[in-house]
Each structure stands twice: as structure tokens, then as C-alpha cells.
Amino acid sequence: MLERKQLKDRTQVTFVLPADTPPGPVSVVGDFNEWKPGTHTLVPRADGTRAVTVALPGSSVHSFRYLAAGDYWFDEDHADSHDGINSRLHT
């Protein structure tokens, strides 16, 4: 799930997953962090989910995927679109 908050010239995007699906650590990896795993690792929240927030430029499009333990890559079902194997996010 994606949560968004519009700021003056940026969009705060929070990437949200269930606490244990998939199990183990998960990071969001995309063009906004040079596809470096571990840069934006999801952390537990009080509501039982885990999340990480990234500030992105407004009026832009970004490709991303999730990377879980065991080199398990997966997409965001609620992304704005998909481009091949990547999820797409429009700010």
C-alpha cells in the first residue's frame, strides 16, 4: 500500500506492508535510491504494519520494487502503474 502526503514541492510517499508478509527484512528499492538495497528498509509501526517514508520531487514518475530476505523481489499491487517488472509511482 502507498500513502502520500503532498508538501510544497515534494511528495512524501510511505510504502506500507503487513508485518510478516513476506517474513524478514524488506526494503524498497528504486530509481530514487539508485537501486541500492537496504537504503530504505521498512520498520514496524504501532498498527502492526511496517513502513518507510521517502520524500520525492513533485510531478515526477519513479520505478521501484520491494526486496525481501532471500533475494525475493516483488511488486506493489497498488502502484499507479507497472512498466515491465517494475512498479511505477506518479507524484
How does pLDDT run along the chain (91 residues), one tens digit per residue? 999 999 989 999 999 999 989 999 999 999 999 999 999 999 999 999 999 999 999 999 999 999 999 999 999 999 999 998 999 999 9
Domain with 32 in it: what CATH number? 2.60.40.10
Alpha-carbon gap, residue 89 to 72, rounded angstroms? 21
pLDDT at residue 56 in the model:
96
Tell me which residue of 48, 26, 24, 49 sits closest to 37, measured CA to CA.
Answer: 26
pLDDT at residue 84 in the model:
87
The parent domain of residue 35 ranges over 2-90
Q: Kindly report whether the global pTM for this prediction surpasses the value 0.85.
A: yes
Number of domains in the chain: 1
